[in-house]
Amino acid sequence: MPGRVRETQEQRRTRMRARLLDATVASLVEVGYAGTTTLEVQKRAEVPRGTLQHHFPTRADLLAGAVEHVALRRIAQLEAEFDALSGGADRLARAVDLTARMLSGPEFLAALEMWVAARTDPELRAEFLPLEVRLFEQMQSRVREAFRGEFPDDSRVPIITEFTIEIVTGLAMRALLTGDMAGNLKIQRRWDTAVRVLLGTADPASLAPRRG
């Protein structure tokens, strides 16, 4: 029986950092930015105080690490989801659905906590903003690519892509307050139709409310 492969020091360091950052994300989701103290993260990660301080000497260091940790996860999710998007007539609707999924879940909630905190924290904003810009640029690129599958030569696709992401972001914020996911889905479907109307492949009458 082959012997157990021992972890290198770098592997142990990487694994412990991930454990601490996962605990930070969970704390941001459950108790918010203000409640995510180093003590709270230490308890969630179930590590000694010295271990946390060795990897992240201050709360600012910990939150800066969490910013990158969350952003890289969201970018990886974005790429994986859109890489799995196949062709077909409903490609546009599925691209809108995927965009909505990028703006939901624990990583998005953790990012949202940092959005709010970054408004009044210049140091956090300096860490956070470039990564969020990168994420939204990649999101625009992949949604635009998906839309071009149905509308390959239409010069209006870039601006409609931008509208799509802004609308879905607004819906995500609304859902956090209202919990009305069914309402969001209905609006998403109407936006799918509106895009096709704007790009000339659907009758404008299809946007009219149905009677009865």
The alpha carbon of 114 is separated from its chain's Cα centroid by a whole number of angstroms, namely: 12
Tens-place pLDDT, residues 46-85:
999 999 999 999 998 998 888 888 888 888 888 888 887 7
20, amino acid identity: L
Tell me the CATH number of domain 9-207, given options 1.10.40.60, 3.40.50.12240, 1.10.357.10, 1.10.3720.10: 1.10.357.10
Give the pLDDT band of residue 99 (cuts 50, 70, 90): confident
Contacts of 113-117 spanning 24+ positions with Cβ under 8 A: 113/28, 113/29, 113/32, 113/33, 113/36, 114/28, 114/33, 114/63, 114/66, 114/67, 114/70, 116/33, 117/33
Q: What is the mean pLDDT of residues 134-158?
A: 85
Other C-beta atoms lying within 10 Å of the C-beta of residue 107:
21
Q: What is the mean pLDDT of residues 158-185?
A: 87
Give the pLDDT band of residue 108 (cuts 50, 70, 90): confident
- Within the chain, what is the greatest distance between any pair of CA atoms? 72
**Residue 4 predicted with pLDDT over 80:** no
pTM of the model: 0.74
Handedness of CA 42, 44, 48, 54 (dihedral sign): negative
Q: Where are the alpha helices (DSSP H) in the chain?
A: 9-35, 38-45, 49-55, 59-83, 91-102, 105-118, 122-148, 157-178, 181-198
Backbone angles phi, psi at 133, to 5 degrees: -60, -45
Cα(21)–Cα(13) distance, rounded to whole angstroms? 12
Cα(112)–Cα(167) distance, rounded to whole angstroms? 16
Q: What is the mean pLDDT of residues 187-203?
A: 87
Between 34 and 101, whose confidence is greater? Answer: 34
The encoded tokens of residue 143 equal: 């949604």
